[in-house]
Amino acid sequence: MIRYGTVSSIFPEKGTIKVTFEDIDIPSVEIPVLQGRTEGTKHYSFPKIGEVGICIFPENTFNGFYLGSGYDEATPVPAGAGAGVEITVFNDGTIISYDENNSKLYINCKNQIEIVAQSIKIECPKTKIVGDIDIDGSVNIKGKLDASEDVTASGISLKSHSHSKVKAGGDKTGGPE
């Protein structure tokens, strides 16, 4: 049996929900929310209370599955969605999408992104970062470093520092100040 149900209770830690059926106004038993993958690589996406979706129940039983919901005029398809585009839009406006037609991953996060790894390698012909950068740790550069503005080390300017003990001839100056 296939029925529309409105999510009335959620149990995210168990992966189950209860739905209320409009025609009989009673809740179902706890039923699992169908997920894309649950072994090895896992996918988890959970409905919210009030979301309407399709449920399927084998004949003469109350144990079934919540299959999910669809788009309509009240809940339109996200902007940017289309053939070959997988997109997730979160309540805070954060967007993660992948366009397989153009091999482009797009992330627009409304707060911060945290990546935890043993090692990260970024390999591309050119990387552009817009904004300030704070680095806690050593920086090793193999290649040229160009700076369009001044560079400072321990508060000493590369452009405007002076040297002590300056003498004419072959003597060496003192350290930068």
* pLDDT 10s digits, 84-100: 898 999 989 999 999 99
C-alpha closest to that of 8 among 46, 48, 42 = 48
Average pLDDT along the chain? 88
Do 77 and 71 form a contact (C-beta atoms < 8 A)? yes
Q: In the numeric block, which tokens belong to residue 163?
A: 């040297």
The neighbour count for residue 103, using CB atoms within 10 Å, is 7
One-letter amino acid of 144 = K
pLDDT at 112 over 90: yes
One-letter amino acid of 90 = F
Query: Any idea how long the chain is?
Result: 177
Report DSSP state, residue 164.
S
pTM recorded for the entire structure: 0.68
Q: Is the dihedral of CA 68, 49, 43, 59 positive or negative?
A: negative
Angle CA(71)–CA(75)–CA(77) in degrees, nearest 5? 55
What is the tens place of the pLDDT at every residue in 1-16?
888 999 999 999 999 9
One-letter amino acid of 108 = N
- What count of Cα atoms within 13 Å lies in the side-chain half-sphere of residue 67? 9
What is the band of 75 on the pLDDT scale with cuts at 50, 70, 90? confident
The neighbour count for residue 167, using CB atoms within 10 Å, is 8
C-alpha closest to that of 147 among 161, 157, 162 = 157
